[in-house]
Structure 1
Amino acid sequence: MKLCTCVNFLVIVTTFCSILSKVNSSKNDTNSYSFVLACGATNNATDADGRIWSPDSTYLSSSSSSNSITSKAKYQDPSLTSDIPYMTARIFKTQTAYTFPISPKSRHWIRLHFYPSSYDNFNCSNSFFSVTVGEFTLLNNFSASIIAQALTQAYIIREFTLVPLQTSTLNITFSPSSVYKDAFAFINGVEIVSMPEIFQAATMVGFTDQTTDTQDSFMQTMFRLNIGGQYIPAGNDSGLGRIWYDDAPYLFGASFGITSVANNSLKIAYPSNLPEYIAPVDVYRTARSMGPNPDVNRNYNLTWIFQIDANFTYLVRLHFCDFEMKRMNQRVFNIYINNQTALEDVDLIALYAAQGVPAYKDFVIYATAQPGDDQEMWVALHPSDKTRAQFYDVILNGLEIFKINDTTGNLAGPNPVPSPPPVLATDSQPKPSFASNKTSKKGIIAGSVVGMAAGFGIVLGVLAFVKRRKNMSNGGNKSSRGGWLPIYSSSRTTETRTTISGKSSRSSHISNMGGGLCRRFSFDEIKHGTKNFDESRVIGVGGFGKVYRGEIDGGTIVAIKRANPSSEQGLHEFQTEIDLLSKLRHRHLVSLIGACEDNGEMILVYDYMANGTLREHLYKHNKPPLSWKQRLDICIGAARGLHYLHTGARYTIIHRDVKTTNILLDDKWVAKVSDFGLSKTGPNLHQTHVSTMIKGSFGYLDPEYFRRQQLTEKSDVYSFGVVLFEVISGRPALNPSLPKEQVSLADWALHCHRRNTTKEIVDPHIKGEIIQECLKQFVDTAVSCLSDHGTDRPSMGSVLWNLEYCLQLQSNPDGPKVVAEQKANDAYAMHTELLSIEEEGGEGQESEDHSTEAAFSQIVNPQGR
């Protein structure tokens, strides 16, 4: 081996041994005490993991108890793994503190549990508050409701680690916001766990000769992943009550690598200078690597992407344990964080000359972002070329990311969807008393409520894909990070910007787009229709902004979507919606009535969808379950809308964001496809695809589109296949809390189909309603939509015909199949006939009087045009 390679190995050995020897002094520290409190509970209770939760009243002073109330949640979300501690809450209308007796020299975990449900007279969408410990701010202007919507999760856990406070008491103070009217704080569970010191000085990425001491910092746990393994509950952690999640939702691209598990005969042997509480053995027994093909491995990095809060310092901890290699220089790799080289030539066997020996390495990096930039952290591994190792591969077992407090003692980041504030407390209206029965009456979620992209773990940061991939493959040591594409095109004329929002103050875009077919509203009309954007009229929140229930023209109910005034991110969506929807009219597309851009605003006005989104009738909402017949009708309606986009409009239109939150239901349960902000005009007759940057939602994204950046209408077909499985299973497209093989609904459904166990995923609410022949036809249709290659997927016309056939099989279970086929043909023929009429006369409104039972004499080709 070359001398320089040996030197590199020695440097790595020295680095790892140094950090392990520093931790050794803490090895004999034990978790001597803990407080595990179910807030609002009256007696001890045991959760699903067997942990006992005690009432919280003991740790509140008598005055604090009188200034708070306890309440029970009105609805238990099906995704709650346990009703303890989430079904009870303590609610504060004034500043209140918990007081705990602690050891002054111990570090502590603090875990706060929030379930933003409805509690008696309190709606958690009105809850904005701060949480502080001494001079340190853990949460500020915190809205558990907004975060839960953004992450599509029922409950939120926030974990912090505190430095020794040098005092015998720990005060955790909850302070309702003084800015928002009727704001309150609430909490469902509190954990305080004493812990040994597990943090030491860490290497600064980009400054190999510098370290940062993290012992004197408060930290927030942002991510804790069991790489290549399954979810590890708090009860299975090594004495510190941590939760370890599956890493699959955070992997970048379709290159998942392979997962592996240590042989049962191999003992994972912690070295004498590494305490076992650093990470449980289950973390070190599983791993993710790149796979056996060196030619494939040379062309990609094993990469994870995380949504973070910008302008904070982060501690990134990587856990390693190589249980496959036996000799030095068999597997050597480099580590990159945010496109910068963190460590080169890592050879785990070189550290100990043995298999199955755990180790970890800490790095510190400052994450900056300019307004409009993506706020992400990339962690990537790539095989080293220099050492000419036997196998061109990498390995990682666990990953933790901690946010470090800034110089002001702040750890709080913004809510994921900043929104216009509720009515100010200085409003002239009288403030209701603490026991007021007045509640915020929310309307039903309406037209064009867009689904939140998956949150912190599930936001796509791939617009800079090509540039970043090249940088990382070439060593990843470029310090600057590529941003999102600019909002304003250089081809646009010069505009003035308002000082408030930075948006254009011109008012000519509406008239220039949509062929002059889009009605223009004045800002005064919009304010009047929403009662000055009264918070009681908010019926939804999306990436574009808030959606209000409004009135126009003397009483017509509409949905009004207002762009967030502090962001420019909705400009392209605003333009695309106007340009497309003003020219499209179809029974199964949401109708755009008009728009407003006065005063730098971006506001869209739609038909009101009284029954909200399809998603909220499938899971995570306290709504009566839909019958199987209703679900079939909704799927057929959505398929008609998509088929019209693909074949009935003047040009092929690819929606690009098909999901259950973008399928809306009117007062008659008619399905309408919505949210065209990401839509693209499809290829012409001489093209097979459109080359474009990747956009969409995790869980629904066409893997072929992701790999090749080539968009076709078959990308919508794939996404619709995921929707079909959501409809039949009643579960979300992604659920990170499930075992890793079940996290992705698409993958799990295909797995069950291959094993002929599809019945296992059927929603129990409808399992007894579905005719066997209908179930088989429906599942086969959904499976064909999920084919890996677009050419193997059916057209939307074929999907529509198959769904019509499913409906006939369900409606006439004892009838001959040939009759069901004939009726499906007739229903499809009526739909295509209406498309032809619309195309000849321009985009029009499909008749609302047609019935799927109506007959046409001709037999049509279900493949569509």
Structure 2
Amino acid sequence: MDSRPKVSIFIRKKDDTEAAAAQFQDPSLPSTVPYMNARIFRSSSTSYKFPIFTNSRLWLRLHFYPTTYANLDPFGSYFSVFANGVTLLHNFSAAVTAKAFTQAYILREFSLTSTGSGNLNVTITPGKESYGFINGIEVIPMPDIFNRPAVLVGYSSETLDLQSSNLQTMFRLNVGGQFITPNNDSGLTRAWYDDSPYLFGSAIGVTSQADKKVKIEYTEDVKEDIAPVGVYSTARSMGPDSKVNQKYNLTWIFQVDEDFTYVVRLHFCEFLLTRINERVFDIFLNNQTAQLGADVIAWSGSLGMPVYKDYAIYVQNGTNEIWVALHPDERSRPERYDSILNGLEIYKVNNTKDNLAGPNPVPSEMLTNAEAAEKQFATTESKVGKLIGGVAGGVASCALVVALVVFVKKKKHNVGPGKTVNPLPDYGSSRKSGTTGKPSTGSHLMNIAAGLCRHFSLSDIKNGTKNFSESHVIGVGGFGKVYKGTIDGGTKVAIKRSNPSSEQGVHEFQTEIEMLSKLRHRHLVSLIGFCEEDGEMILVYDYMANGTLREHLYRTNKPPLSWKQRLEICIGAARGLHYLHTGARHTIIHRDVKTTNILLDENWVAKVSDFGLSKTGSNLDQTHVSTMVKGSFGYLDPEYFRRQQLTEKSDVYSFGVVLFEVLCARPVLDSSLAKEQVSLADYAQHCQRKGTLHHIIDPHLKGKINPECLKIYTEIAGKCLLDQGIDRPSIGDVLWNLEFCLQLQENPGGVEVAEDKANDAYETHTSTISVYEETANKEVDSTQSNPFSMMVDLKGR
């Protein structure tokens, strides 16, 4: 509670404030504290006063969860925040910011200069005819990690004094490594994020990790406060091919506010090389030279010793990006043409008016277009129930009456994610019409599906299902019940009817029609038509006589599938996903791959179904979609859950779970088992590491799987479940390996020959592997000459 005396916080004009609980809880919130409770500021300025008994710098972290409090419109909130005269936020809208970045909550972190032994006053001033709010405040004394001047790029021998500067954290990345939680930081409770979303183009280099024998040794100049061991023990470099490296830059791009100076802090640590002039490179910021002849060993003096460099660059009006580029220094003639980076931070520096506030972000064109389509999609009657897209969609209500939680602390605490790039919208809840309370879609669907699928009348649907008779129900999903029905005098169909209380609604209904009316593939379920009459949302599909894959694996009276049948079904599903990822006009990410969404027709042909949660990428340069997490527990990609950034590798993870589910014939989550066995994904990986995976295979399959087939199958399934998406194979690689498994299973006598060919191809293939665009065509050509080369290469691409 922010009003407790023991916290020593005082609020002026308290009558203008009130404590309020959030009416909805977004599932992507990291915790209920502090986000589910807020203090509302109605009119005049209100200040928090924090007694400070230290001369050190301070971390000030502000937490915002823009949702409905006390029936107030979150988009009606605009306010400014000041700290001891420094403007931190001006005319700030948390709702607009969260919407633009498709995040549920916002964290702003500032590093403020010493206040001496006095008070830190944080003042919140609502805009005219508006209100302000805040969910959490953290004030943390910090060591002075800004005690060196930064080299001012573009100005010879000029530097910027950081000790007297107030700073805002813009980005903090563990380059080449995984997300580092605040609890694993070096005492400063910072979060370090994956750098891959910010990489430019396809030339992303290679990542590496220090051997356990290499100890990271801090020095008097570089202490652990600068960055944790986890940052210095991983890196991204350009790769082993010097000729390729000379032709490109390793580049990251960051969106920032214009007309500010920024400090770019680069962290380096060599844990592979030991000699001076072995790896030398140049550093560029926004096409200006920041450093020529960077030699990490020359700077540090030894293997495993961290160094960091600070560079300051002014981002002028009309520019809102910072480009960080590394290129081998050819003038020095090093032993290898390469570059390396371990960590990267970007801080905004206050201007001459003690201002750090930038404008509210502008939603992307894609988000704006999607909203326009959504408005066109809804009828005029649906305006009463219109939801705020991308901010708190698809959430459950929660009633907690507690005041704002304020942290004045020195211990560790979790913080939320930073900026994301290339955001896309996410609408998680259905719209309701103002008169009936039922969904209303209008004629937009008719335009989408014209000539591609049929529009059925409600009377046709009722006749075909005997007025939705319970005897015709063949399944129940997140959207609603599925009925077996008939149309056109006897054609069997599957009819999916929306449940009004379902979390899936109009958006999922529209997505399914938009996707399937334009996609035609042997391994995707075919949409015949739809009905949106009288508030109903109904989809009509081809009837799948053998139901879902799940119902043939466990808890069923049906005969078990043979191993060959299971392989063929997995291959079919992989082909369907491969088409979605690569064959359609834009990459389509299914987002809900599971055995109940793999359907089987009368010939046991597998078809991927249920596209209500799918997302579309607009182009190949976009590496991820920032979106509120959706999917099914047990199949959910942990990286997607942590970062809310969706890629096709999220589908690969889910499909890896499917592969183990097919092999083991058990639920992906089973609370009746011992704790370590509840999650199939976790337990399968554990057994794989221990070499005991054969103990959990479906008893019906034991002794019936060719050993080499099983080896390839379990290896590719395990690769799908790797923690980082970049390390997972593509669905195309998975497909190749599954087809190889089928060949091994069907032709045991040809295994030795196939292996020899595969190994020969592998040796040739790996000698030319490159992640760079320039050599990609060569890699494809080499695989065409021998079909086994890709099958045995289990590395993620």
Q: TM-score range by the shorter chain?
A: 0.5 to 0.7
Deviation of 1:164 (Å): 2.0
Q: Look up the match of 2:536.
A: 668
Is the Cα contact below 8 Å between 2:77 and 2:93 reproduced in 1?
yes
Show structure 2 runs of 5+ residues with no match. Answer: 365-382, 395-416, 435-439, 456-477, 480-499, 522-531, 541-577, 595-612, 615-629, 671-677, 680-697, 699-716, 722-728, 737-797
In the TM superposition, what are the counterparts of 1:258-407 in structure 2 within 5 Å?
258-370=206-318, 375-407=320-352
Tell me how far apart the structure 1 counterparts of residues 140 and 206 of structure 2 sit (CA, whole Å).
35
Q: Look up the match of 2:493.
A: none
Is the Cα contact below 8 Å between 2:99 and 2:363 reproduced in 1?
no
SS of residue paired to 1:208: coil
- The one-letter code of the counterpart of 1:443 is K
Is the Cα contact below 8 Å between 1:734 and 1:744 reproduced in 2?
no
Q: 1:203 to 1:541 in 2, by over 3 A?
A: same
Q: Look up the match of 2:80.
A: 130
Deviation of 1:749 (Å): 2.9
Q: 1:626 to 1:104 in 2, by over 3 A?
A: closer
From 74, 83, 89, the counterpart of 2:32:
83
Tell me how far apart the structure 1 counterparts of residues 533 and 30 of structure 2 sit (CA, whole Å).
30
- The one-letter code of the counterpart of 2:517 is G
SS of residue paired to 2:518: helix
Q: Look up the match of 1:459.
A: 422
- The one-letter code of the counterpart of 1:129 is F
1:68 partnered with 2:27: no
Q: 1:271 to 1:624 in 2, by over 3 A?
A: farther
In the TM superposition, what are the counterparts of 1:245-264 in structure 2 within 5 Å?
245-264=193-212
Q: Look up the match of 2:587.
A: 718
Is the Cα contact below 8 Å between 2:592 and 2:651 reproduced in 1?
no
- The one-letter code of the counterpart of 2:651 is A
SS of residue paired to 1:149: helix
Deviation of 1:445 (Å): 6.3
From 145, 151, 154, the counterpart of 2:95:
145
Tell me how far apart the structure 2 counterparts of residues 749 and 721 of structure 1 sit (CA, whole Å).
7
- Using the size of structure 2 for normalisation, the TM-score is 0.55
Q: 1:635 to 1:317 in 2, by over 3 A?
A: same
Q: Look up the match of 1:414.
A: 359
Q: 1:265 to 1:713 in 2, by over 3 A?
A: closer
Q: Look up the match of 2:513.
A: 637
User: 1:353-411 deviations in whole A, cap 9, x for unaligned?
Assistant: 311001100000011242xx6x2111111222122222222211111100111222211
Q: 1:79 to 1:348 in 2, by over 3 A?
A: same
Q: 1:636 to 1:385 in 2, by over 3 A?
A: same
In the TM superposition, what are the counterparts of 1:775-794 in structure 2 within 5 Å?
none
SS of residue paired to 2:516: helix
Is the Cα contact below 8 Å between 1:233 and 1:242 reproduced in 2?
yes
Is the Cα contact below 8 Å between 1:268 and 1:281 reproduced in 2?
yes
1:443 partnered with 2:386: yes
Deviation of 1:129 (Å): 0.8
Flag the structure with more relative contact order, 1 or 2, with Cα contacts below 8 A and sequence separation at least 6: 2
Tell me how far apart the structure 2 counterparts of residues 666 and 162 of structure 1 sit (CA, whole Å).
59
Tell me how far apart the structure 2 counterparts of residues 317 and 276 of structure 1 sit (CA, whole Å).
15
SS of residue paired to 1:277: coil
Q: Look up the match of 1:844.
A: none
User: 1:92-113 deviations in whole A, cap 9, x for unaligned?
Assistant: 1132100011147332110001
Deviation of 1:345 (Å): 1.3
Q: 1:170 to 1:588 in 2, by over 3 A?
A: farther
Tell me how far apart the structure 1 counterparts of residues 668 and 508 of structure 2 sit (CA, whole Å).
14
Deviation of 1:66 (Å): 3.4
Q: Look up the match of 2:66.
A: 116
Is the Cα contact below 8 Å between 1:115 and 1:154 reproduced in 2?
yes
- The one-letter code of the counterpart of 1:716 is R
Tell me how far apart the structure 1 counterparts of residues 246 and 178 of structure 2 sit (CA, whole Å).
28
User: 1:587-608 deviations in whole A, cap 9, x for unaligned?
Assistant: 8899xxxxxxxxxxxxxxxxxx
Deviation of 1:134 (Å): 3.0
1:750 partnered with 2:652: yes
Q: 1:405 to 1:670 in 2, by over 3 A?
A: farther
Is the Cα contact below 8 Å between 2:171 and 2:418 reproduced in 1?
no
Is the Cα contact below 8 Å between 1:249 and 1:458 reproduced in 2?
yes
- The one-letter code of the counterpart of 2:631 is S
User: 1:36-93 deviations in whole A, cap 9, x for unaligned?
Assistant: xx658x7xxxxxxxxxxxx9974123x5443321122233222222222212211111
Q: 1:559 to 1:122 in 2, by over 3 A?
A: farther
Tell me how far apart the structure 1 counterparts of residues 171 and 93 of structure 2 sit (CA, whole Å).
19
Q: 1:101 to 1:125 in 2, by over 3 A?
A: same
Tell me how far apart the structure 1 counterparts of residues 274 and 667 of structure 2 sit (CA, whole Å).
42
In the TM superposition, what are the counterparts of 1:521-560 in structure 2 within 5 Å?
none
Q: Look up the match of 2:631.
A: 729
Q: 1:787 to 1:752 in 2, by over 3 A?
A: closer
From 154, 158, 165, the counterpart of 2:108:
158
Deviation of 1:221 (Å): 0.4
Deviation of 1:125 (Å): 2.4
Tell me how far apart the structure 1 counterparts of residues 283 and 322 of structure 2 sit (CA, whole Å).
13
In the TM superposition, what are the counterparts of 1:417-816 in structure 2 within 5 Å?
417=362, 443-444=386-387, 456-459=419-422, 585=450, 625-626=502-503, 636-643=512-519, 667-669=535-537, 714-716=583-585, 718-721=587-590, 726=613, 729=631, 744-751=646-653, 753-754=655-656, 756-757=659-660
Is the Cα contact below 8 Å between 1:730 and 1:763 reproduced in 2?
no
Tell me how far apart the structure 2 counterparts of residues 117 and 109 of structure 1 sit (CA, whole Å).
26
Tell me how far apart the structure 1 counterparts of residues 114 and 296 of structure 2 sit (CA, whole Å).
33
Q: 1:401 to 1:549 in 2, by over 3 A?
A: farther
- The one-letter code of the counterpart of 1:92 is F
- The one-letter code of the counterpart of 1:89 is A
Is the Cα contact below 8 Å between 1:231 and 1:737 reproduced in 2?
no
User: 1:789-838 deviations in whole A, cap 9, x for unaligned?
Assistant: 9x99xxxxxxxxxxxxxxxxxxxxxxxxxxxxxxxxxxxxxxxxxxxxxx
Q: 1:441 to 1:404 in 2, by over 3 A?
A: farther
From 179, 183, 186, the counterpart of 1:231:
179
Deviation of 1:332 (Å): 1.2
Tell me how far apart the structure 1 counterparts of residues 654 and 91 of structure 2 sit (CA, whole Å).
44
Show structure 1 runs of 5+ residues with no match. Answer: 1-37, 43-54, 420-439, 462-539, 543-547, 552-556, 561-576, 591-613, 616-622, 647-663, 673-703, 706-710, 773-778, 793-865
Deviation of 1:301 (Å): 1.8
